[in-house]
Amino acid sequence: GSADSTATESFVMMPSIIFTKLFINGEFVDSVSGKTFETIDPRNGEVIAKIAEGDKEDVDLAVKAARAAFDHGPWPRMPGSERAKIMMKLADLIEENLEELAALDSLDAGKLFSLGKAMDIPDIIGVIRYYAGAADKIHGSTLKMSREFQAYTLLEPMGVVGHIVPWNFPAMMFFIKVSPALAAGCTMVVKPAEQTPLSALYYAHLAKLAGVPDGVLNVVTGFGPTAGAAISSHMDVDMVSFTGSLEVGREIMKAAAASNLKPVALELGGKSPLIIFDDADLDMASDLALLGSLFNKGEICVASSRVLVQEGIYDEFVKKLAEKAKAWPVGDPFDPQVRQGPQVDKAQFDKILSYIEHGKREGATLLTGGKPIDKKKGYYIEPTIFTDVKDDMLIIKDEIFGPVTALMKFKTIEEAIKSANNTKYGLAAGIVTKSLDVANTVSRSIRAGSIWINCYFGFDKDCPFGGYKMSGFGKDFGADGLHKYLHTKSVVTPIYNSPW
Ligand code: ADP
């Protein structure tokens, strides 16, 4: 199904593109080479703006600024409450510019504007305030080691952090990294994805307005193998935090190891199962499968890209899901009736279609979709569901990152657990059942970082999120999300003539 793509201008005022340069040491500057790259509107393939293309020299300048701000600047030295005040101000400024910021990501990434306003941007405001609230509550512990010695621990900022950010949730991926790092007292260089550079530059501007000192938050726009690799291999970057594909995560870890052995936090891909048992409410289960597979056009690391359904309800479930998928409106992301916009760019669009072709060639059956939708040269793809999928097919092994899911049938709970764990990934899993026993057993049996029972996408700023296995390591959100930007230092002192 697809809604009419009426002129976008009738839905909303288009955002103006103000910031297109690198943000280094508190100033917007051209790249050293003077080069630029184009960022594209996925609704029609047209150029939105030319953006400064940062490379190694620009990363060097940004790291130098971040290093100076860490080694000599006020940010890591001020009381946490002062950092909190500035972060709260930043959250307020984002709130004042909420529609503009949501619109920037819709334009750049094809994300739903209605959801950006209702979810993406309000959620980052929540995340910033959450970590601002933690900034003055960072403290270690006191240890009575023995009669002769005692110790205390100091939690100190990691230093200069490199954040390498993906394009699927430009706002959340920026602030899931930047907010805890700011609260911890770190300074940083952020590289947004080349597909979605617009909003990150706007955030840099707002951070300056809020009072974040120059050099603390630098943004270098550019490509992965150049600007990104310059960050991960930099000798003066103390840590790298990355969200993106498994392949790139591997490159980043290699570069970190080969340079200064900097610690890395990696949030990588997934092939998350949604397991639906015979006793499930079919309406709820099919809604969860639909949303799990198609939310954000499937461009989400925790997409329910494998839907495992017990045999007793399989046929009825398939019918229901197919009906709903066919009625799912695809179209202009600024149209409030639309639920699925275009894929982020041509490369992603082509990659998804080639996986669909692969699935057909390998003998899977198309239940719905399977084709591009012809709309003003935009990168739209039909909601696509495969059945008759076998364990060794590429479409069940690889992360596709598009509106494509695969249905599989199972008989017993043991079989479901085995099948769910049959993946190199371990990011999330969903379970739909009325049985507490089944839910508990399956929750403990699945090797994945998040388990969602009778719900899906159960995210919150206070709830740790991150992978098992090749989905990476290092949690985002919650206290864990803050502590990965902190070192623990043990300070030991002798006690003479202690009576205890
Ligand atoms: P996708 O494949 O979904 O586009 P990637 O994992 O390639 O996602 O990209 C996520 C981020 O990693 C982007 O900011 C991208 O520019 C960056 N990146 C890509 N390749 C490298 C690399 N070799 N080193 C560092 N960063 C990279």
Amino acid at 346: K
Q: Distance from the CA of 422 to the center of ligand 1, in angstroms?
A: 26
Q: Closest ligand 1 atom, CA of 192?
A: 14
Residue nearest to atom 19 of ligand 1 (CA): 224
Q: Distance from the CA of 98 to the center of ligand 1, in angstroms?
A: 27
Q: Closest ligand 1 atom, CA of 245?
A: 6
pLDDT of residue 374: 87
Q: Distance from the CA of 276 to the center of ligand 1, in angstroms?
A: 34
Residue 443 near residue 433, CB atoms below 8 Å: no
Q: Closest ligand 1 atom, CA of 194?
A: 16
pLDDT of residue 6: 46
Q: Closest ligand 1 atom, CA of 248?
A: 6
Which residues make beta-bridge pairs with 39?
49
Q: Does the interface predicted TM-score (ipTM) exceed 0.95?
A: yes
The pick from 55, 59, 164 for probing ligand 1's pocket by mutation, whose C-beta has the most ligand atoms within 8 angstroms, reads: 164
Residues having CB within 6 Å of any atom of ligand 1: 164-166, 191, 193-194, 223-225, 228-229, 232, 244-245, 248, 251-252
Residue 344 burial (CB < 10 Å; 0-12/13-18/19+)? Answer: buried
Indicate the pTM of the whole model.
Answer: 0.96
Q: Closest ligand 1 atom, CA of 247?
A: 6
The pick from 40, 247, 248, 253 for probing ligand 1's pocket by mutation, whose C-beta has the most ligand atoms within 8 angstroms, reads: 248
The interaxial angle of helices 80-96 and 198-210, nearest 10 deg, is 130
Cα separation of 71 and 486, whole Å? 16
Residue nearest to atom 24 of ligand 1 (CA): 229
Which of the following is catalytic: 267, 299, 382, 399?
267
Residue nearest to atom 23 of ligand 1 (CA): 225
Amino acid at 298: G
Residues 412-466 have pLDDT tens digits of 999 999 999 999 999 999 999 999 999 999 999 999 999 999 999 999 999 999 9
pLDDT of residue 12: 63
Q: Distance from the CA of 274 to the center of ligand 1, in angstroms?
A: 27
Residue nearest to atom 2 of ligand 1 (CA): 245
pLDDT of residue 322: 98
Q: Distance from the CA of 193 to the center of ligand 1, in angstroms?
A: 7
Q: Closest ligand 1 atom, CA of 251?
A: 23
Tell me if residue 267 is catalytic: yes
Q: Distance from the CA of 177 to the center of ligand 1, in angstroms?
A: 16
Q: Distance from the CA of 449 to the center of ligand 1, in angstroms?
A: 22
Residues 18-37 have pLDDT tens digits of 999 999 999 999 999 999 99
Residue nearest to atom 13 of ligand 1 (CA): 193
Which ranges of the chain have pLDDT less than 50? 1-6
